[in-house]
Structures are given as C-alpha cells and as structure tokens.
Amino acid sequence: MNRKCLGRVLLLAVVAAMAFFITSCQSKKSPSEEVVLPMDRVAASLSGSQTILHKAFSVTTSASFPFEIPAHAAMPHLHGNYKSFVKQISADAGDESANVDFLILKEDQYAEFMHRHAGEALFSADASHDQDVDFSLPASQDQPKKYYLVFRNSPGGPAKKIVQADFRVDF
C-alpha cells in the first residue's frame, strides 16, 4: 500500500475510534431523572370502609354533611339509607308530609347549591321519607375528593323534619 492510502485508512480508524468513545461516554438519564407525568404514575388502590353519617338530626331548610374520598380510591361506593319523620322517630317511617330531598354533590356543585343556584347533582332523590341509596362515586385518582350529603326540606310539609340517616362509603 502506498503512503497516501495508508494515511486515509489510519485517519478513518482514528475517526471511528473517536466516534465510538464519544457515544459510549455519553451518560444516559437514570430512571429517577426521567420526567413522569402524574397520569402515568400507577399507585396501589386503597381499600377500606368509612362511616360518614350515623345520626338523627333536624332539617328546617337543609342539612349538609361533608365527607372525603382518599386519593387512589379506584372504586368508591356510597351506600346507606335514611328515614324522615314529622315529630319524632318511631317504628313507622313518616308519611308524605315528612318528605325530604336527598342530594350527593361534588365540591363545585355544593358551592352552587350554597349560593342558591339550582344545578346538577351526582345523585338526587326528590320528596322521599324512606330511601335506600346505593351509588358508585368517581375514582379519586391521585388527589382526595370531597363530597357532600345534603338533606333538603321538601315543600308542602311541616317546617321542621327529623331525619335518621346511616351512610358508609367503601373504597
């Protein structure tokens, strides 16, 4: 081989060696440095049960009871019942004059309700004095979610009603 050809081969070998060393020396991002979006994170789903209401109370205009679903609750489920009465709790459920409205509201819906704006509810039972409730709430994902149980006095009856309510949420 002549010198000119040998020089080209040697130059190509040096360039190839440099390229190999440059690419092998570049550091790769460790898994902790990679950007992970919150929606891409998978966390273990919580499981448990929580009593959110177990009491008798009076309703003149409305009565509200807040509760919170913890983060990562995949399938929260609310269930329970209520009975309303005109004077005092007895063995028989009240009659039509003891009817109350029942609502399950998200935080924004509750804010609208408090400002006397009629809006939508996740769940509602109008004018009832004896109601069983079995309702699946939306998954809470990575943030806890606040909800409200609201009992509202139905028009056309006494100004004050007594409600006995028992509610629990499973998640």
Is residue 171 within 8 Å of residue 87, measured between CB atoms? no
37 lies in some domain: no
Q: What range does the domain containing 143 cover?
A: 48-170
What's the confidence (pLDDT) of residue 50? 94
Question: CATH number of the domain that 54 lies in?
Answer: 2.60.120.680
Task: Flag whether the pTM goes above 0.75.
Answer: no
What's the confidence (pLDDT) of residue 47? 77
* Structural domains counted in the chain: 1
Q: Count Cα neighbours of 170 within 13 Å in the Cβ-side half-sphere.
A: 6
What's the confidence (pLDDT) of residue 121? 94
Residue 60 token pair: 């003149």
Residues in the chain predicted with pLDDT less than 50, given as ranges, are none
124 lies in some domain: yes
Query: CA-to-CA distance for 77 and 169, rounded, in angstroms?
Result: 5
11 lies in some domain: no
What's the confidence (pLDDT) of residue 137? 97
123 lies in some domain: yes
17 lies in some domain: no
What's the confidence (pLDDT) of residue 40? 54
What's the confidence (pLDDT) of residue 83? 97
